[in-house]
Amino acid sequence: MSAQLKVMVIDDEPIVGKRLGPALEKMGCQTETFVDPAAALGRLAECEFDVVVTDVRMDEVDGIGVLERVKALSKRTKVIMITGYATLEVAHEALAKGAFDFIAKPFKPEDLRQAVARAAEALGIQGPGAAASQA
């Protein structure tokens, strides 16, 4: 169980969490979804996640804020940014601050699964399939 990939999804669009949760669980991840970034940050303080998927533009705390907080709490956590409108500036900033990947909306569930798989590999966890077999 401990080897199961822990993924957090933050997006103020409820449908994103509703769809990505099951999609990631299908590949063996343990997923928590949040609509409110502030609540998500609270949860992050309680528990370390392997991968955080966050929308860039949100009202209270934006994706960059989430990224900074995650990196401050846990260096090893991989952050995947998703955004509806990627400007070069934001992309640069995100990568400079240690974002693992950058996905533009609209994307397919498979795109995210591949990104998460790459993140797991980078973390040294054997692919999602391996994680599932370990469980």
Burial class for 135, CB neighbours closer than 10 Å (0-12, 13-18, 19+): exposed
Q: Per CB under 8 A, which region of 19-27, 33-41, 44-52, 114-122 contacts another protein? A: 19-27
Q: How far is the CB of 108 from another protein (least distance, A)?
A: 5
Range in contact with another protein (rule: CB under 8 A) among 27-35, 44-52, 108-116, 124-132? 108-116
**11 near 39, Cβ under 8 Å?**
no
Residues 46, 24: Cα–Cα separation, whole Å: 22
The one among 8, 16, 44, 53 contacting another protein by CB under 8 A: 16
CA 31 distance to own-chain centroid:
10
Residue 85 interacts with another protein (CB under 8 A)? yes
Residue 36 or 62 with smaller CB distance to another protein: 62
Nearest distance, CB of residue 41 and another protein, angstroms: 17
Using alpha carbons only, how large is the chain's radius of gyration in Å? 14
Parallel, antiparallel or unpaired: strands 51-55 and 78-83: parallel
| Best CA proximity match to 100, nearest among 128, 84, 86, 81 | 81
Q: Which region, judged by CB under 8 A, interacts with another protein, from 17-25, 72-80, 94-102, 116-124?
A: 17-25
Contacts with another protein, residue ranges (CB under 8 A): 13, 15-16, 19-20, 22-23, 26, 57, 59, 62, 82-85, 87, 104-110
